[in-house]
Chains A and B, each alone.
Chain A
Amino acid sequence: MKAAPPKKSRRANGQALPVDGDNSARWNLRLYVAGQTPRSLTAFKNLKDICEEYLKGEYHIEVVDLMENPTLARGDQILAIPTLVRKLPQPIRKIIGDLSNTERVLVGLDIQPR
């Protein structure tokens, strides 16, 4: 389980590509970014670190670049960039920001009780 930068996670057509784990993973996370901005890279790095630490082997991260595929913003109702969406386990949770506050990310993902 090696963290890959978002740059490599995109196909030519811009479709999101599973970065890690598989779809059957218990934690299904999707990170929305808009282009390769420093903030989205930071967000991805922060997410990867947290997942490695708390959800090792149980997660699946998908990165969606809205620059490539703006229509996808509609599905998960994305306004803020970056936004992390917890698709699984239900219910859906959204975490906005560069995920620099680990504590709040853990609370937002319900890894840690509030």
Chain B
Amino acid sequence: MIRQNRRNRPKPLESLKKERTGIPGFDEITRGGLPAGRPTLVCGSAGAGKTLFAMEFLVRGAMLFNEPGVFISFEETDQELTTNVASLGFDLQQLIADKKLVLDYVFIERSEIEETGEYNLEGLFLRLSHAIDSIGAKRIVLDTLEALFSALPNEAIIRAELRRLFRWLKEKGVTAVITCERGEGTLTRYGLEEYVADCVILLDNRVQNQISTRRMRIVKYRGTSHGTNEYPFLIDEKGFSVLPITSLGLTHKAPTEFISSGNPRLDTMLNGQGFYRGSSILVSGTAGTGKSTLGAHFVEATCTRGEKALFFAFEESQDQIIRNMRSVGIELERFVKKGLLKFQNARPSSWGLEVHLAVIHKTISEFEPSVVVIDPITNFLAVGDETETKAMLTRLIDFLKMREITAMFTSLTAGSANAEDSEVGVSSLMDVWLLVKNIESNGERNRGLYILKARGIAHSNQVREFLLTNRGIELIDAYIGTEGVLMGSARSSQVARERATEMARQELTARKQRELQRKQELYEAQLIALKGQYETERDALLRDLDEEEKRERVFADQRLEIARLRKADNGGVQVEGNSAGKARKETLK
């Protein structure tokens, strides 16, 4: 009764236990690693990296998680394996000496084997069992188990034994990795996936446009969610690394801080402060318009502030960039020496797009810069088509935005193409788009810089002339007038012309002013002359009037004398004559 009760009691929900591999990125996409205590199938064609994956699973398990492991190799000898991974810094001999690792090379020579009747693979089981028990192994690798099929003639026995083997491994509770060759149209050549149903990982090395890209996909992972995409992975001097880069969506934060573009005039054009931190900046333009120089300015400004910058150059070597930028007065070498600036130079054709992305991802994660310059993105079109490139850049931009890294991408537009047609079609992803254009007129080329867009920044809509001087980039107001936009010598001759016109106008004004002055003087002189004349005439008139008065008085006196003599009454006449003379005098004064 009690027993039955116990059996009927529902078990607490227990999710699948996972065993971390320690391989960078892999544990993220599997959300924790491989299924613990169960076998995992790793399949892939020759050279896909199966053995390395398996070996890293063991070595990292032993080194990071202190879990001993057994490597059963059907293909390579102990010595070969040791040598192969020594370049990755794995010292197998030391691990073996520390009882963390057992290497067992199982070699079967078909030609020296004759089959006579019934048999089983107990010998292999015993070897595995012994190896596991000798160090208390938690992990085991069988690389490549399918070698059994070519070594032993009886497939029916092998299949039966494999079934038994996987069951036995599960019972043992070891986490197993079994590598398999990929078959035509199937995951494995001998259909091993039907025995190992818990977790199947596919490694792929595809060649496209003569460039190979390693990719990994989790085909199946029973009992757990996992990333289903194909993830690019790298095998480099540090071993295996998987890059879980996908489009992260639009959840990134938007910092409000500004950072300088490295050019004060450009900053002025951008609201006076520069770019938003964490924004993506596209600089497009035809060949030789100074796109890289803008990038170098940006990097210089960043490093001067003491922040780290990373420069991905797909066209020039580090020395070449440093030399060329020195010629325009940008000294980058000091920052490299201080460890603030790092160059990553590679030809686009060295790797496929995915690997480029992976390398950029990895370098950024290691260096942790605040500014990244990618010069130019158009070169990616050499390795992938437009859709792929755009997808890759979207992922890259998302990644950069998540980390609040300000990124400047340069893009080369063909001379004939419409300059506003960004080659890779990524302009919509960008926050700021600067266009540097060669403007050809009057037999010379001049550079003009426009801000085509700047999200969230009130920016100048005016074209600036862009000069590369030995002090770096200088932005000058282009002449914009009735005759259109003038630049270069046309601009300076226009400026000279304008100055001449101005001078002529000033002269004209001065002349007119002088004339006015003269006129006034003339008028005043005339006024004085007139007054003189008037005064002369007035004096004459006054004199005349005096004379008249005198004469009148004399006349009146005479009349009075006559009247006196005649004894006439004449009082009224005397008064009349006097008053008239006085009034006439008054008006003249």
Contacts and interface: CB of A to CB of B under 8 A. Distances in A.
Contacts of A97: 115-119
Nearest to B130: A70
A47 B63 CA distance: 48
A67 B119 contact: no
B542 interface: no
B264 to A, nearest CB: 75
Contacts of A71: 130
A78 B119 CA distance: 12
Given A92-B112, A94-B112, A96-B113, A81 B118 contact: no
B129 interface: yes
A77 B114 contact: no
A105 interface: yes
Nearest to B148: A79
B127 interface: yes
Contacts of B152: 79-80, 96
A98 B122 CA distance: 13
Contact of B118 (A70, A91, A100): A100
Contacts of B452: none
A74 B119 contact: no
A interface bracket (residues with beta carbon within 8 Å of B): 20 to 34
Given A74-B104, A91-B112, A81 B117 contact: no
A83 interface: yes
A66 B131 CA distance: 13
A39 B108 CA distance: 22
A83 B122 CA distance: 10
A79 B116 contact: no
Contacts of B151: 79
B240 to A, nearest CB: 29
A34 B122 contact: yes
B106 A77 contact: yes
A83 B116 contact: no
B123 A83 contact: yes
B390 to A, nearest CB: 53
Nearest to B124: A79
A108 B123 contact: no
Contacts of A82: 119
A19 B251 CA distance: 78
A4 interface: no
B123 A104 contact: no
Contacts of A74: 104, 127
B126 interface: yes
Contact of A96 (B119, B129, B130): B119
25 contacts: A34-B123, A39-B120, A66-B126, A70-B129, A70-B130, A73-B123, A73-B130, A74-B104, A78-B123, A79-B106, A79-B124, A79-B151, A80-B124, A80-B152, A81-B120, A81-B123, A83-B119, A95-B113, A96-B116, A97-B115, A97-B117, A101-B116, A104-B115, A105-B114, A108-B116
Interface of A: 32, 34, 39, 43, 66-67, 70-71, 73-74, 77-83, 91-101, 104-105, 107-108
Given A73-B127, A96-B115, A98-B116, 14 more contacts: A66-B122, A71-B130, A73-B123, A74-B104, A79-B106, A79-B108, A79-B127, A79-B151, A80-B123, A96-B114, A96-B119, A97-B118, A98-B118, A104-B114
